[in-house]
Structure 1
Amino acid sequence: MLVTVKELLAEAEKKQRAVGAFNVPNLEALRGVIQAAEMLEVPVIIQHAEVHENLIALEEIGPLMIHYAKQAKVPVAVHLDHGSSLTACIKAIRLGFTSIMYDASLKEYETNVKETAELAQIAHSVNVSVEAELGEMTNSSVGSGEGRESTQDELENSDLFTNPDQAKSFVEATQVDSLAVSFGTVHGKYFAEPNLDFERIAAIRTAVNGCPLVMHGGSGVSEEDYGKAITAGIRKINYYTYMNLTAGESVKRLVNTTQQNELFFDEVSLHATAAVKENVSQALRIFNRL
């Protein structure tokens, strides 16, 4: 069942849960995520990140994502993750995506407000949800991270975190449906225990008067910290890196342990899909507090 992110996050707020959002740059990831959500009977968000255009183009994967969402036995939203241009966002809307993220977080604050507000007006006219980002989301040194890499000083610099007062002004000015906030998570793989500012999440939630908050860099966070973040107000959790690594490790084990002289790719594909399903199921159980 194809739905908007706005609908899913409103329901998550009622139940004090978070909706899992997973990037699906290939068929194995797409099928594994949908299968996990259907098995647990929970809603899910499938995403295409613009940085994954090198893996597969939006025009190729987008129609597949929408098809799987419509056929799913659970509510599924189809979302553009980290759209960096008006062109990319409009393309996703025209393909039938029910949600887009416009990421101008590295631009000047006034520019972020102006461009996000303009895009929100366009998207809302056709019932498409809009996510934006405020504060600087840093990146680990792993290649699966999004955007530039960060130094250790930046990873620990709370000055880059989202300011609650600024978040209030931003949401009021742009009318976005959800806001990705920076509070200590990173894109990519964690090399040390993340130091997350849960009090900041709660303060932002109060300041934005109910606008759902989004955690980027959700992979690698402990179950305890997921729970604290959800209690503080996180309603959408982006998760990709560790799902991706799990599938890769599973395929590596298959290749290393196979006793036959030939290994057919269809077996590899099914193996990877199963690994994605298992890893995503674990994440969804935590996010939905099952």
Structure 2
Amino acid sequence: MLVTAKELLMEAEKRKCAVGAFNVPNLESLRGVIQAAEMLEVPVIIQHAEVHENLIRLEEIGPVMIHYAKLAKVPVAVHLDHGSSLDACVKAIRMGFTSIMYDASLKDYETNVKETTELVKIAHSVDVSVEAELGEMTNSAIGSGEGRESELGAFGNKDLFTNPDQARSFVASTKVDSLAISFGTVHGKYFTEPELDFQRISAIRSATNNFPLVMHGGSGVSDEDYKLAIDAGIRKINYYTYMNLAAGTAVKMEASKRQNKELFFDALALKATAAIKENICGALRIFNHL
């Protein structure tokens, strides 16, 4: 069932949980996410990250994502993650995506507000949800390519974290539907335990009148930290790196078992899908308090 992200976030707010949002740059990840959601009977957001255009183009994977969302037995929103230009966002909207993220977080505040507001007007005219980002996240060695490396490692520079007062002004000015914030997570794999600023989440929620907040860099966070972030007000969690690693590990193990034997790719694809499904199930159970 194809829905907007705004609908899912409203329901997550009622249930005081978080919607899982997963990048799906191939059929194995797409099938694994949908199968996990259907098995647990929970809604999900499937995403195409613009930085994954080197893996598969939006024109190729987008229609497949929409097709799977429409056929799913649970509510599914189809989202463009980290759209870097108006053209990319409009392309996704015209394709049938029900949610887009316009990321101008690396631009100055005034430009971020101006460009995001323009996109919100376009998206809302056709009932498409909009996510924006305020504050700056850092990357680990296996990051997505967004932002810049932090001199403080995985914990980031708190001077770059989202300012609650600025968040209040940004939400009021742009009329976005959700806001990705910086509070200590990173894109990619964690090499040390992250130190997350949960008080900042609560402060932003308070300043924005309980506005839906988004956690990027959600993979690799401890179960307890997930729960604390959700309790503080996170309503959408982006998750990709660790489900990707789970698939790679499964393929590696299967290949090692078949040394000196014929190895067919379709067998590896099925192993990858199953591993992704299992990994996603674990994440969805935490996000949905199951």
Query: Structure 1 stretch 255-264 or stretch 131-140: which is displaced more?
Result: 255-264
Pairwise CA distance, 1:148: 4.3
Match of 2:141 in 1: 141
DSSP 3-state at the match of 2:100? strand
Match of 2:151 in 1: 152
Match of 2:287 in 1: 287
Residues 49-75 of structure 1: per-residue CA shift (max 9 Å, x gap): 000000000000000000000000000
DSSP 3-state at the match of 1:238? strand
Q: Tell whether 2:171 aligns with 1:175.
A: no
Distance 2:33 2:148 in 1: 27
DSSP 3-state at the match of 1:2? coil
Distance 1:34 1:7 in 2: 18
Pairwise CA distance, 1:140: 0.6
DSSP 3-state at the match of 1:3? coil
Q: Is the 8 A contact 2:106 2:147 kept in 1?
A: no
Match of 1:234 in 2: 234
Q: Tell whether 2:88 aligns with 1:88.
A: yes
Pairwise CA distance, 1:157: 1.5
Distance 1:148 1:200, change over 3 A: closer
User: 1:183-198 counterparts in 2 under 5 A?
Assistant: 183-198=183-198
> Given residue 110 of structure 2, which amino acid in structure 1 is its aligned partner?
E
Distance 1:107 1:45 in 2: 26
Match of 2:72 in 1: 72
Residues 84-124 of structure 1: per-residue CA shift (max 9 Å, x gap): 00000000000000000000000010000000000001000
DSSP 3-state at the match of 2:48? strand
Pairwise CA distance, 1:208: 1.0
Aligned CA-pair RMSD: 1.0
DSSP 3-state at the match of 1:66? helix
**Unpaired segments ≥5 residues, structure 2:** none
Match of 2:57 in 1: 57
Residues 134-191 of structure 1: per-residue CA shift (max 9 Å, x gap): 000111111x423244133264311100000000000000000000000000000001
Pairwise CA distance, 1:11: 0.2
Match of 1:27 in 2: 27
Distance 1:177 1:232 in 2: 18
Match of 1:7 in 2: 7
Distance 1:110 1:256 in 2: 54
Q: Is the 8 A contact 2:216 2:237 kept in 1?
A: yes
Query: Structure 1 stretch 261-270 or stretch 178-187: which is displaced more?
Result: 261-270
Q: Is the 8 A contact 2:137 2:182 kept in 1?
A: yes
Q: Is the 8 A contact 1:141 1:149 kept in 2?
A: no
- Deviating above 4 A after TM superposition, structure 1's stretches of 4 or more consecutive aligned residues are none
Q: Is the 8 A contact 1:36 1:278 kept in 2?
A: yes
**Unpaired segments ≥5 residues, structure 1:** none
**TM-score normalized by the length of structure 2:** 0.98
Q: Is the 8 A contact 1:17 1:288 kept in 2?
A: yes
Distance 2:145 2:71 in 1: 30
> Given residue 79 of structure 1, which amino acid in structure 2 is its aligned partner?
H
User: 1:193-204 counterparts in 2 under 5 A?
Assistant: 193-204=193-204
Instruction: State the number of aligned residues.
Output: 289
DSSP 3-state at the match of 1:200? helix
Give aligned-pair identity as a percent: 76
> Given residue 27 of structure 2, which amino acid in structure 1 is its aligned partner?
L
> Given residue 150 of structure 1, which amino acid in structure 2 is its aligned partner?
E
Match of 2:132 in 1: 132
Q: Is the 8 A contact 2:34 2:72 kept in 1?
A: yes
Query: Structure 1 stretch 208-217 or stretch 126-135: which is displaced more?
Result: 208-217
